[in-house]
Structure 1
């Protein structure tokens, strides 16, 4: 009996020992879209006690000192169905990491609450992420309609997208370039209801995305992630329409999703200035000048005919190989009538060039780009990106000018015919090897490009100075410009600890400009032009750089920073430049502090060089403009710029308020500037100015930007305020005397989104721009421009299948020299939807009802202020029919590999 009692006692003792196990249990809570859930209540219960915790900013919970290997976990969160799970583990285990726990949406709860565990906006180091489902849209809405509702983003009338004061330059779908990164192709065709998230990424390139080492200025990239339940199916859309004045339009769009395989086709033809393919990167305002008070509406300046087609392809050829790319063809013809008043600064007075131009330009472009990603194994990755483009341009311009200065005045004309071929070839190779540990990487990147510009120009110039006989000149100009570039970069990252690493890099750059300029001239009308040796030139130069750098990076949960230094010796070699050497030091620093998942501070400093172009270096006088000569300087040094950027972003989950701020400063040493020489040719008084190039210090820019958005009444009303201040300290020389042009541009915008009911969408907005320019030499060239831009967009849904929409823009300008335009542009349409699911519609549109469309702008540089006005497509009417068919069968894709997951996290796109 004693033995039995002792045996039972031992069993209880062993069981007690099991219960005394000190185990750490952790896990992560996500929703059905794989997004982490913040603030979920987690309760862990054992036979003896119960513990509670909340998930942190990353959706993670941790329990220490769990004294039992058997327990249950209950998880609840607003907007989700509660989950309870039971676990059994080895009693000897000291640490257990649970599989991700997935919460399902509680539809009933979601209709009753405003704030849940998933924020509408998530702020990451290099990424701002918007949850598409948080923004209400009507049927058949496009990605562009979604972007217009996102705080901090602006979509203008032409479809260009800007964020935090900078232009978005590329677009991707699920992290891969779409139609070569063409923005309008995606935003104006991709259905909004297939989008799960919208991400704005500061992209430093593929190598930086893999290694985590960022330097230089990033591109703003737009990335759409596709909903898993919309990742298998198709979308077909077509539009055909005709109007008065011979206006027509037609387009077709087909998108097929089959998990990892995507196929797209796009076709477009119209004469309504609608460009589906942009084919060029959007660029922000340059540091040398600013643009203020402009009005943009209805596409490009002038009247444009467009024909274009495009194909996009993406697929996984195997579990290791992914391929994607696109082909596009673009044919465009544009006719523009414009007037321009240019104030060319002089030491005393100014040279005013007032001209009127009729221009007809045609272009045909082909573009092919392809990408092959090969995940060799878990440690090796290879990406090859070839690209080819070819364009053919031809056209003519007829310009009449009236020039006045202290030397007198003259009237005349130029007639210019041009033709050009531009073949471009390139390839990029990226290889990465990971040495077992995630932080130890060896990365190699090679970029090769060959570009050509072969142009023929026939120019006839006539000029009659006051009191003199007419001057005549004809020039036949042939330019063959070829540029070859090779850039190699090697990077090695060594982890010093779990949070610190050291990166060493080397970069080699080779650039060769091989340029031939041949000019035939005559001063006698009717005679044959003969070779002009003074204006012709054969010019070759090489620019070679070797850059050695080191970066120290620290990654902590709430903050990370990096410190780097690079040294770059460079040589410029050419027959006329001689052999010259340069040495530059590139400091770099980054700091990011994550106050929360929705609030972050980023500080970034870097430096870079910019080499002079062959036009600036070639030692000849270009007399293509017979009154304004340009002479190159073979002794120019490369520019060196220092940039500091500070960014603070915040999203308040409780109120929905969104705040974006940005402050940047740039200073350039050896800035390449213009020296304007007045009356440079004593023997020829018709030559008014000659532009030369030299290096100068003192050029800097200071830019500030903020955007604030506040939703009210569950986003039925949204107030948006945006402002910017840009100061450019432009440097130029006039008759060898330094001139400082102080250019200040202030802009303030107030916008409202009013959606009192699901049937009414109203968007009024007001924008004020102030552009002031002061010069130290010639105060008479000082100027102030003010512009008010008022807009009102509306969309009203009537009787379920009728839509009435309007867009109204009023511009009030003052301060433009000799150019006055205050247009009121009113567009309106009525649409009738029919067929099941509103798949078909008839739309009657009226454009520019008051027939006042025009475009004006101001451009300020170091030596000139230019005010321009151009015609735009004016009043017309259009009746169109559209058909929109889509079908989806939800099918989740396989989870990303460990390599892809790490790379997406570095880009800021991971969950």
Structure 2
């Protein structure tokens, strides 16, 4: 018998399914309002997932469940909750607005709402022209930008784009957004997608990715759509390609193709094996910044040939398959000029004429097999093959700070690289009868292999060396590297109360890698005879990491609050062995405690506050550990460091957001803090005189050797505020962005510590039209004021400013006439003589739509009308400040024909078994696009 004051209402769940009454397809993103039948009770809200399902935690009472969705009539039921799970059954939604000759009657639409951890944008609130892509659509949404192929949402790079919760062309976010027309989009969901294992348990394991899920309209899930185009212009400029998708219930097939020589590129970093070696300034060694080069598009002039195929389908009630194949071939030519200032000690100037051809094949596959309601397997293999050939003609000159010349080099270099990368992840998940008790096993494999060869011919002059005023290098080099990583972990969760849950986890990872480089000198003058092994530039190196990690976490959830608190213990063993030309060993062990904490508050009105702290380690790569010199630029050598330790990172993220149906605006405020102990950074030695290093390498006066080292004191602090509001009176969407970024980068120059401190203040505004589908325009401004301070040479502290002002318009008028124009002004101030620039890129086109339903369009486009196109960039590192100018595409005109395919139909009626969840949700979880309440392991 329960005593008064100690009676606690027992929690339960209401689950249900919402489908279209005509097509019998799931209704994704419908609003579910659950309200007690008592007087003055307030509703609680959830939304349906990609399968039209919902689940909400309640107490055992009587409720009114109401389903609402744009252009549908409301549907509601009264549900009495008696057990742990009460199935409300199926809600059939009937369209409330009939379409007559394409005239749509749509009321006011809430642009943005916060649904748990997911920010949801309603596409109907953002008007675009009939030919717009999903990329055009999302750039009107607050906090989302697309720059040079990189998609950013709320200050973080978007790594994945899903379509109705399923992968689409692997992890290539930009490619997915360009391939789908805006008209099929119902909602855009932005969230941090957990790993499959973490989504199941509900405990964040830190491996989540910023993700966009494209929710398609219910009446666009069956049909064929896409477009094909071809154009030719002056200076033999051309483009051709297209994309076609076939959607038929669960089966979806998409085909894309592209060929052009006008710098339209659609590849990800997986396509760029060997490309980083072509960047201006040569290899930077150590920590380097090659990763930055792999983000977005290549500079210079690029020709692209690509083809892709995406497939998704369900087989029966248990198997869900998605897969894609993508081929990409790019040919790039670039001419760059580079200035590097080593904080007043010396100046380096370089001209670089390079060309490269890169070929890539990518295959992605995912199979979900629901063994039964309690057990599931997920199999995710990925495979890519790459081939790269490149050649570079380079001239470099080094001067002292006063202009006195030290040395120069003329380089003719070429290379060939072939490689493949295979990854596989196998996950087994089991849910026990007791809700919240789960067990999962994960096994992952990674294999990569790379082989390469290179030719180097350089003539070097040393103006300060009277005895040896110059030399010639004529070499061939051969490299190979491979790595095998095997890992596994298991996770067990156990509920300990109605609000608390424990997680136990253990993982083991073993990584074995080796790298070999052999360099041969030409021993004859009159002919090629590369038989002499250069032991100073050759090396064989093996490396093994073994990591054991065990942890305990506690999860709490009650009302509007949830929290995770955990601690992992990690032991890492590093064993490295140099096999040639001399023997050497490194045997180290690292022990770390890795705490993590997450606290989230969500109000029913849409306000959310989240604090997230996580610590982690980062291991040096084999190239950073391998003690072999790269002399591809004899004036700027690089090498590895076998004594490197692992980095220890601490990350703190805080986010506050306001969005909801009752608010006329949306606001996001974020703070990101990162602190690194034992940060892997560059140490640069600049020879003040002829110097022979302990390794035997000879550095002429002014030559540099850069290698990675471990240094404490690396910081990165970033704040970002985004504010969006539709102004209905003038039919505009207004988006404001304000941010501040602080980077403290430690480094070493001639064994003297230098701390480069960069402060960046940014401001942006975007005005986008909401007038009509026939008139679409956007105007934007973004500015960055940068303050650079360094500890070695305060007199070289620098302030510089960059700004971009853009405007774009697309107007359809009369009987299918189209006028489009975009203009962008770039301004750079404070970079120094020859680099301060102010230029405007203006493109415009006129066209005419014709054929049935205006499916055809003939368009004349002029690129760079003012002949001012330019490309400059400033990079601030811990050892130098770099300014780079690159070759750009010049003015041309092109005539293009485009045909648009739109053929949508209704889905045939399906029986109840076909409408059931064809995946794993035996406990009422939310797999697929969003995180939902945490999956079957939630409580």
Asked whether the two chains share a fold, i.e. TM above 0.5, the reply is: yes
> Aligned pair in 2 of structure 1 residues 26, 444: CA closer, same or farther (>3 Å)?
closer
Q: Does 1:728 align with 2:743?
A: yes
1:264-275 matches, cutoff 5 A: 264-275=254-265
* Cα deviations by residue, 1:258-281 (Å, 9 ceiling, x for unpaired): 111111111111111112343649
Rounded to whole Å, the distance in 2 between the matches of 1:449 and 1:749 is 41
Partner in structure 2 of residue 440 of structure 1: 437
Q: Does 1:493 align with 2:498?
A: no
1:658-717 per-position Cα deviation (integer Å, ceiling 9, x unaligned): 111210111111112222222174365345222233222111111111111111116811
| Distance in 2 of aligned mates of 1:457 and 1:395 | 9
**d(CA) in 2 for partners of 1:83 and 1:574?**
66
In structure 1, runs of 5+ residues without a counterpart are: 1-23, 45-49
SS in 1 for 2:537: coil
CA distance in 2, matches of 1:592, 1:368: 37
Counterparts of 1:124-135 in structure 2 under 5 Å?
Answer: 124-135=115-126
Alignment correspondent of 1:55: 43
SS of alignment partner, residue 854 of structure 1 = coil
The answer (yes or no) to whether the contact 2:116–2:932 under 8 Å persists in 1 is: no
Provide the residue aligned with 1:246 in structure 2. 236
1:114 pairs with one of 80, 86, 108:
108
The corresponding residue for 2:516 is 516
Deviation at 1:320, TM superposition (A): 0.7
Decide which of 163, 167, 176 is 1:177's aligned counterpart: 167
Question: In the alignment, which residue of structure 2 is the partner of 1:401?
Answer: 396
CA distance in 2, matches of 1:656, 1:830: 37
Residues 783 and 370 of structure 1, relative CA distance in 2, 3 Å threshold: same
Output the CA distance in 1 between the equivalents of 2:76 and 2:224. Answer: 38
Aligned twin of 1:761:
776
Hey, what's the Cα distance between the residues in 1 that align with 2:565 and 2:877? 35
Q: Which residue of 1 aligns with 2:535?
A: 533
Aligned to 1:546: 548
| Aligned counterpart, 1:327 | 325
Return the offset for 1:463. Answer: 2.0
- SS of the equivalent of 2:649 reads strand
Question: Out of 308, 317, 321, which is 1:310 matched to?
Answer: 308
Query: TM-score, structure 1 length as denominator?
Result: 0.88
Pick one of 189, 195, 206 that aligns with 1:205. 195
Aligned residues: 863
Q: Which has the larger Rg?
A: 1
Q: Which residue of 2 aligns with 1:11?
A: none
Report the TM-score, using the length of structure 2 for normalisation: 0.85
Q: Which residue of 2 aligns with 1:831?
A: 847
**In structure 2, what is the equivalent of residue 229 of structure 1?**
219
Deviations 1:182-206 (A, max 9, x none): 2232211212222222112212322
* Residue 677 of structure 2 corresponds to residue 682 of structure 1: no
Aligned to 2:637: 629
| CA distance 1:414–1:197, shift in 2 (3 Å) | same
Q: In 2, Cα distance between the equivalents of 1:856 and 1:94?
A: 63
Q: Distance in 2 between matches of 1:281 and 1:125?
A: 35
TM-superposed CA distance for 1:36, in Å, is: 4.6
The Cα of 1:37 is off from its aligned counterpart by 3.7
Report if aligned partners of 2:520, 2:534 keep a CA contact under 8 Å in 1: yes
Counterparts in 2 of 1:409 and 1:230: CA distance versus 1, 3 Å: same
Contact kept? 1:30, 1:37, Cα under 8 Å: no
Q: Which residue of 2 aligns with 1:338?
A: 336
Q: Distance in 2 between matches of 1:699 and 1:487?
A: 30
Are the counterparts in 2 of residues 647 and 661 from structure 1 also a CA contact under 8 Å? yes
Superposition map of 1:657-696 within 5 A = 657-679=665-687, 681-682=690-691, 684-686=699-701, 688-696=703-711
| Candidates 774, 779, 794, aligned match of 2:794 | 779
Is the alpha carbon distance of 1:29 and 1:220 closer, same or farther for their aligned partners in structure 2, counting shifts above 3 Å?
Answer: closer
Structure 2: gaps of 5 or more residues: 1-11, 21-26, 48-55, 273-283, 578-583, 693-698
CA distance in 1, matches of 2:585, 2:59: 70
- CA displacement 1:780-808 (0-9 Å, x = unmatched): 43222211211111122221511211110
CA gap 1:75/1:507 in 2 versus in 1, 3 angstroms: closer
The DSSP-based 3-state class of the residue aligned with 2:199 is helix
Q: Distance in 2 between matches of 1:185 and 1:322?
A: 23
Give, in whole Å, the separation in 1 of the partners of 2:70 and 2:377: 44
Shift of 1:590: 0.7
1:393-432 to structure 2, matched below 5 A, reads: 393-405=388-400, 408-432=405-429
Q: Are the counterparts in 2 of residues 151 and 708 from structure 1 also a CA contact under 8 Å?
A: yes
Q: What is the alpha-carbon distance in structure 1 between the residues aligned to residue 560 and residue 820 of structure 2? A: 47
Return closer, same or farther for 1:464/1:121 CA change in 2, 3 Å cut-off: same
Distance (Å, rounded) in 2 between the aligned partners of 1:173 and 1:241: 30
How far off is 1:134 after superposition? 2.8
For 2:821, which of 779, 785, 806 is the aligned residue?
Answer: 806
Query: 1:355 is matched with which residue?
Result: 350
Query: 1 CA distance for matches of 2:183 and 2:73?
Result: 24
- The answer for the alignment partner of 2:372 in structure 1 is 377
